[in-house]
Amino acid sequence: MTERKPVTLHRLREMHARGEKIAMLTAYDASFGRLCDEAGVDTILVGDSLGNVIQGQPGTMPVSLEDMAYHVAAVARGNRNCWLIGDLPFGSYHESREQALRSSVKLVQAGAQMIKLEGGGWTADTVRFIVERGIAVCAHIGFTPQTVHALGGYRVQGREEDAAQTMLRHATELAEAGAAMLVMEMVPTAVATRITQALPIPTIGIGAGPGTSGQVLVLHDMLGITRGRLPKFVRDFMDGAPSVGAALRAYVDEVKGGTFPDPATHGY
């Protein structure tokens, strides 16, 4: 068996250029970091969703920077080849560009190769400031869990044309500021596809249809571990799978093959 090469930002850009879909999953510990790596996942996001699925919190807002650094370090110890992204949690980048840089440095020192932050508009200047200092940034627009209360709950973003135009403007500004990747969450398929086609960087969808450059799901959701009502964009890949590893490989294969997500079942 040929050992796979580590995924780098350069390789992700090459994948995007040739139209190869990017398979991303969240992970929060060394064991799942290793399993994602062995399954051929391209990039792991150590998401602040750990507040919900690991800590049992009602949302992501209580997650601290120290929590994120701890879990980034744990995943980094299990992972060898996946590109590793660390989420900047709520309150860790909102005060100033300097605060955002300090928080980013902490996650990079823990093992992250890229940091992710939520929001458009005001964040473009912060992205530029971080990127100019040598840290890769993934932006996140659409539904942003850290601002769930301001958004009025878990709602699809960009349904109206004015909102879609604002989202496109924010995405363009973030790419121009130096963001190397963009996550779009709970965005109508047509809008996410339109933004993807307009940008020079890869887009990763979660509830944004099949027209993005890649997909991400929360690990515990796609393994059927999460209880309660799940978003319509989630699919349980453990259903019928003989092992966790097989479920992860099926996810990678379906993302790469363009069969997940199904726009009729998983899109808006």
Q: What CA–CA distance (Å, rounded) separates 118 from 87?
A: 9
CA–chain centroid gap for 113, Å, is 13
- Residue 185 a catalytic site member: yes
Q: Determine how β-strand 114-118 pairs with β-strand 136-142.
A: parallel
Of the residues 14, 95, 173, 185, only one is catalytic, namely 185
Residue 236 marked as a ligand binder: no
Alpha helix ranges (H) inside the chain? 9-18, 30-38, 50-53, 65-78, 97-110, 123-131, 161-177, 189-198, 219-222, 244-257, 263-266
Q: What CA–CA distance (Å, rounded) separates 251 from 23?
A: 8
Q: What is the DSSP string of 114-147?
A: EEEEE-SSTHHHHHHHHHTTT-EEEEEEES-GGG
Residue 116 marked as a ligand binder: yes
- What are phi and psi for residue 175, nearest 5 degrees? -65, -40
Please, what sign has the CA dihedral across residues 85, 90, 96, 99? negative
CA-CA distances (angstroms) from residue 149 to 62, 153, 192, 196, 202?
Answer: 14, 6, 23, 27, 28
Tokens 């093992």 sit at which residue?
A: 111
Residue 49 marked as a ligand binder: yes
Q: Which residues are annotated as a binding site for 3-methyl-2-oxobutanoate?
A: 48-49, 87, 116
Q: Which residues are annotated as a binding site for Mg(2+)?
A: 48, 87, 118
Q: Which residues are annotated as a binding site?
A: 48-49, 87, 116, 118
Residues annotated catalytic, as ranges: 185
